[in-house]
Amino acid sequence: MKHLRPLRRETRRKLVYDLLLWAVLSVFVSAMGPDPFLDPAGFAMITMPRMVLAAAAVLVGRRWPLAALVLLLPLGPWQFTEGFATVDLSWLLPRRNVKILPLLPTSPFIVWYAYLTGRRMTRAWPASAAFCLVTVVGVGVVLAWGGDLALWVSMTTALVGTYLVPYLLGLLRRRLLQQRRVARLSVEAQARLRERARIARDMHDSLGHDLALIAVRAAGLELVPGLGPAEVKAAGELRVAAADATERLRQIIGLLREEADAPPLTPADEDVAELVRRARDSGMTVDLDLIPGPVPGLARAVVQEGITNAAKHAPGAAVQVEVSPERVTVRNGPPRSRPTAQPGGLGLAGLRERVRLAGGTLTAGPMTERVSGGGFELAVTLPLEGEEDPRRSGGNGRPGARRSIHD
């Protein structure tokens, strides 16, 4: 019974639909044959086998429309007495009334199955073989009727209009649906990648920053006078654990982040002053200089990245933050104890992309010892609100821009 499962209807609605289709097709088939009241024998000999053929076509047509098309071949447009149009070809043919696209009562059903063949079949060779068979039948019918040139015109238009054009329309519909599906899947994939980038950014901005502050607090505990060796050891282990957790977080971010993604430009709700206050509470020395005027939208992200890098790569160093309407700078001095993280992370890479999309420039690198005694500077210049990006492309296009060696 397994080989009959494809012929079963999944729902009662489909079963009723196919029964109604067979009933209508049977009515049209009956209209093509002898009258059952005037010629019962002819009806039984001609129409009844056609009705059985129609039932078989409906039975297999839902799953295999090409098989239904072949089964309905005897009911094809092989009677050239009626047509979609009649043309006068007396200038070319002896006959005046030449039927273009012959039509029979069963022609709409054949057109439908031809359309479904192009719509559902993915391989072209079965349809090509079936159309070759249809062509052979049409040629045989024309030759049986005498091979008149008018019959060739009628037969050719019948093949094109009843079989070929519906099949091509179905094929076109299938290709359009495939393209729509590919586009939808591409949009969904891009949405997933953007969400992954957002998660990576949030993890870096929030967890990475908090872990760096924990490491700073632990380093401060190690230097508190009066602690016993056990407490100092525990504080050191806490600092190392925070550094290890930061490294694992960086690896996870590397898996989530996509280089081609544009990270979101909307910062968190916490402002720059609150961010600096939390860093000070953790034991860092941070000076904030807020120049009057509107605060750039990316100011918090820049300050957080700068403070986080200072906490990880320059423990104990003083940090100076300067925020103006069009420039954000974070500087830190040289480290006073062993750093808690390794360079090479993705924080500055993501921030650089966000600054580029905002039309600004980012420079990051070590400061000269002659000027500041060593240290690191992160500087971001952003256009004022409503000001056009002079480069029209963003990016750090400033000549001689320094490369980052920090995370």
pLDDT tier at 260, thresholds 50, 70, 90: very low
Looking at residue 159, its pLDDT comes to: 92
147 phi and psi, to 5 degrees? 75, 30
At residue 396, the pLDDT reads: 40
Q: Which residues pair with 366 in a beta bridge?
A: 376
DSSP state of 43: I
DSSP line for 140-177: HHHHHTT--HHHHHHHHHHIIIIIIHHHHHHHHHHHHH
Closest CA to 284 of 242, 336, 322: 336
Give the span between the Cα atoms of 146 and 100, in whole angstroms.
18
pLDDT at 136: 93
Alpha helices (H) along 223-338? 229-256, 272-281, 299-313
The lowest-confidence range among 180-184, 218-222, 374-378 is 218-222
Average pLDDT estimate for 207-235: 68
Going by C-alpha positions, the residue among 142, 143, 140, 73 that lies closest to residue 104 is 73
Residues 90, 97: Cα–Cα separation, whole Å: 8
Per-residue pLDDT of 266-275, as tens digits, reads 344 567 888 8
Q: Which helix (H) or strand (E) holds 85?
A: strand 83-88
Answer whether residue 145 shows pLDDT above 70.
Answer: yes
Residue 269 token pair = 């709700």
pLDDT at 355 over 80: yes
Which residue from 302, 307, 354, 355 is spatially nearest to 328, judged by alpha carbons?
Answer: 302
State the pLDDT confidence band at 17, using cuts at 50, 70 and 90.
confident
Crossing angle (nearest 10°) for helices 125-144 and 107-120: 150
Structure tokens at 56: 């078989």
Q: How far is residue 121's CA from residue 115's CA, in Å, rounded to a whole number?
A: 10
What values do phi and psi take at 55, rounded to 5?
A: -65, -40
Mean residue pLDDT across the chain: 77
Does pLDDT of 15 surpass 50?
yes
Q: Which of 345, 179, 315 is nearest to 254 (CA)?
A: 345
Per domain, the residue ranges of the chain are 2-186, 267-407
- Residue tagged 């009066």 (tokens): 226
Q: Give yes or no for residue 263 having a pLDDT over 50.
A: no
pLDDT of 266: 38
Against a cut of 0.85, is the pTM above it?
no
Residue 249, CA distances (Å) to 5, 207, 212, 314, 404 in order = 53, 8, 11, 19, 20
The amino acid sitting at 233 is: K
Three-state DSSP at 231 gives helix
pLDDT at 342: 56
The CATH architecture one would assign to domain 267-407 is 2-Layer Sandwich (3.30)
Q: CB under 8 Å to 259, separation ≥6 — which residues? A: none
